[in-house]
Chain A
Amino acid sequence: GENVEQHPSTLSVQEGDSAVIKCTYSDSASNYFPWYKQELGKRPQLIIDIRSNVGEKKDQRIAVTLNKTAKHFSLHITETQPEDSAVYFCAAGERGSTLGRLYFGRGTQLTVWP
């Protein structure tokens, strides 16, 4: 099955700086890569996703890049704010009929210091 590796496990940045989280995946059949943000005690919430026919996607301060050849994708957060502090999870989705399954990375605890 798919294996998703996520780095770093913790990340501390100063408010206003950029944060980058990187993930790699193993199954070349994966073609859907969402990122979730989970605040303490809350549900994981989708913040951005990318599909394998796209190399980059941006939504305001958040961007995701995908390199299918190298099997890695990254989350970029610019102009970080204290409310960006949370655990971020990357995931990879299977192709085919099993549409509901995602393989998750272990998460990155992002702390933004004011």
Chain B
Amino acid sequence: KAGVTQTPRYLIKTRGQQVTLSCSPISGHRSVSWYQQTPGQGLQFLFEYFSETQRNKGNFPGRFSGRQFSNSRSEMNVSTLELGDSALYLCASSLVGTGYSGNTIYFGEGSWLTVV
């Protein structure tokens, strides 16, 4: 079956602009999480959505937001872009069971964002 799909793959934005990234999880997966990857900070958790609800949020400013739709697809938005927002943004999906933590998480190819 198809993996996690992210669009766009590459984009260049100007400081002050906003950007929306899209993620389609693996069919049947209801949990979608987002990570920012930079050489300096590594992989950092942004937020996680399950059944259209944000269940967990990392330590990022309010400029970073997201949402999940009824078909489990997710979008993340970054407003008022700063140079430091340049990064690879990875979406990951997992099949959520009940009562057991540690479901396998699968990553998409990511969206490379460059802010100039």
A contact residues vs B (CB 8 Å cutoff):
31-32, 34, 36, 42-46, 49, 51, 89, 91, 93-107
Residues of B58-116 whose CB lies within 8 A of A = 90, 92, 94, 96, 101-110
Question: Which chain B residues border A104 with CB–CB below 8 Å?
Answer: 35, 42-44
Question: Which chain B residues border A32 with CB–CB below 8 Å?
Answer: 101-102
22 chain-A/chain-B pairs, Cβ below 8 angstroms: A34-B104, A34-B105, A43-B107, A44-B43, A89-B42, A93-B102, A97-B55, A99-B48, A99-B94, A99-B96, A99-B101, A100-B48, A100-B50, A100-B103, A100-B105, A101-B33, A101-B45, A101-B56, A102-B45, A102-B105, A104-B35, A104-B43
B contact residues vs A (CB 8 Å cutoff):
31-33, 35, 42-45, 48-50, 55-56, 90, 92, 94, 96, 101-110
A103 vs B32: C-alpha distance in the bound complex, in angstroms? 15
Question: Which chain B residues border A45 with CB–CB below 8 Å?
Answer: 107
Given A93-B102, A99-B96, A101-B33: A44 touches B56 (CB 8 Å cut-off): no
Do residues A46 and B31 form an inter-chain contact, with CB atoms below 8 A? no
Q: Report the 7 A-B pairs with minimum CB-CB distance, sorted nearest first.
A: A32-B102, A100-B48, A100-B33, A104-B43, A98-B56, A100-B31, A43-B107
